[in-house]
Structures are given as C-alpha cells and as structure tokens.
Homo-oligomer: A and B are copies of this chain.
Amino acid sequence: MAEYPYKLYDYPDSGNGYKVRLILNHLQLAYSYQAVDILAGETRQADFLALNPNGRIPVLQLADGTCLAESNAILWYLGDTTHLVPTDRLQRARVLQWMFFEQYNHEPNIATSRFILKHTEINEERQQALDQKRPAGYAALDVMEQHLANNEFFVGEFSIADIALFAYTHVAEEGGFKLASYSAIQRWIDAISSHPNHCPINTISQA
C-alpha cells in the first residue's frame, strides 16, 4: 500500500469511478490508481472478486487494505465531515435522497445508454434496451431540471449529491440524450466545471 493513503480500482471512462476521482480532487487527497479493464472481464476474475464480491468498479482501498465499494457510499465515506456533506439532519438525508435517485433513475438509463453506444456494437436487443431507457432517462433529466430551476445545487452549496449526478449528466449526450433544452442543468454543469478543484472525466490524478 506504500505511500498513498488510498488506492482506487477503476475504469478511466467510468462515470461512477469519476465521482470518486472528482471528490478526491476536490479534497486534494492523494491516491494510487489501478485501472481495471471491465471490457476484458477483469472485474469478474478471482483477484478482483476478492476486493469486491459484487464484481464492480470503483473500489476504494484504504491504507490497511480494507475495501469499500459502491461509488456513492465511497462519496459519503470521503465527504462526510467535510464541506461536501451538510451537517443538518434533513439536508444529509436529502443528499442521500438524490444519490439514491441517481443510482435508481438516472444511472441505469443514462450511463447504460452511454456504455452501449460507446463500447458495444448495436444489435436488435441493445437497440431495444436503448429505446426503453430513452424516456426513463429523459424523465430523470426532467426531475433534475425542475429542481435546478429553483436551486443552485441539489442540496445546499455544492455537495456529494452534485458530484454523483454530475458524473453521467455532463456526458449524457454520449448516451444519446440532448441537453440543449435543459437550461438549468447546463447552468449547473457550467458552475461545477468552473470550480478550481474540478477535473474532467478520464483525469487520473495522484494529487
């Protein structure tokens, strides 16, 4: 484990992994990086399953070797007690509300469509999946737009809920979702992207 307090097992194009890279950058925490080739099935091999029996990246390994999975749980682990998680009880639950929304309504539609379009050959089954995910993904964007029309960020003044939802929203067009009519989402994307500690997706920094 050597000199870095954290080791991130990740796939560079993953938005779920990007959430973790982004918070590490915001908090200026150093980490070592192990790329895992999900397309080659590396997350299903025994050595990776020993880190996360659920066979998914990202996985954050702590200095003592302990592994934590699920991008949004990692965000909470790193963000709690910092300015990225509010202290008020209801606000904290609201952060989680948006993060569960992200994993249930947003990621399975928008991220998965992006994955199909970027990394697979389209066949009839995949086209059918895209067709099903399209209205559900737009419904998630509609909910976000409605909230952001009246709020600068999802909760308070920028939190891990924003990081979680930013990861796949800002590349939603790669999943076939047009953002042109979502003016509040665009304003929010611009605000997050212009933060001094921001880094683009695919950035692998060791701080």
- How distant is the Cα of A69 from the Cα of B90 in the complex, in angstroms? 11
Partner of A73, one of B54, B73, B96, B105: B96
Residues of B contacting A90 with CB < 8 Å? Answer: 62, 66, 68, 77
Measured between beta carbons, the chain B residues less than 8 angstroms from A73 are: 93-94, 96-97, 99-100
Is A146 interfacial (CB-CB < 8 Å)? Answer: yes
A53 interface hit (Cβ, 8 Å): yes
Number of copies: 2
Q: Which residues of B contact A101 (CB under 8 A)?
A: 54, 69-70
Encoded as 1 (CB less than 8 Å from any B CB) or 0, chain A from 103 to 131 comes to: 11101100000000000000000000000
Which of B62, B96, B105, B146 is A76 in contact with, Cβ under 8 Å?
Answer: B96
CA distance A11 to B93 in the complex (A): 22
Cα–Cα distance between A105 and B55 once the two chains are bound (Å): 11
Complex contact B80–A97 (CB within 8 A): no
Interface flags, A44-55, vs B, CB<8A=1, else 0: 000000000110
Shortest distance from the beta carbon of A185 to any chain B beta carbon, whole Å: 15
B residues near A22, Cβ cutoff 8 Å: none
Q: How far is the CA of A14 from the CA of B135 in the complex (A)?
A: 24
- When the two chains form the complex, which single residue of B72, B80, B99, B100 contacts A89, counting CB atoms closer than 8 Å? B80
Tell me if A134 counts as interface (CB < 8 A to partner B): no
Say if the beta carbon of A180 comes within 8 Å of chain B. no
Asked whether A143 and B53 contact (CB < 8 A) given A89-B77, A90-B68, the answer is yes
Q: Using a CB-CB cutoff of 8 Å, which residues 129-185 of chain A contact chain B? A: 143, 146-147
Question: What residues of chain A have their CB less than 8 Å away from a CB belonging to chain B?
Answer: 53-54, 62, 66, 68-74, 76-77, 80, 89-90, 92-94, 96-97, 99-101, 103-105, 107-108, 143, 146-147
In the complex, the 7 A-B pairs of residues with the closest C-beta atoms, listed nearest first: A77-B93, A73-B97, A73-B96, A70-B100, A70-B97, A73-B93, A103-B104
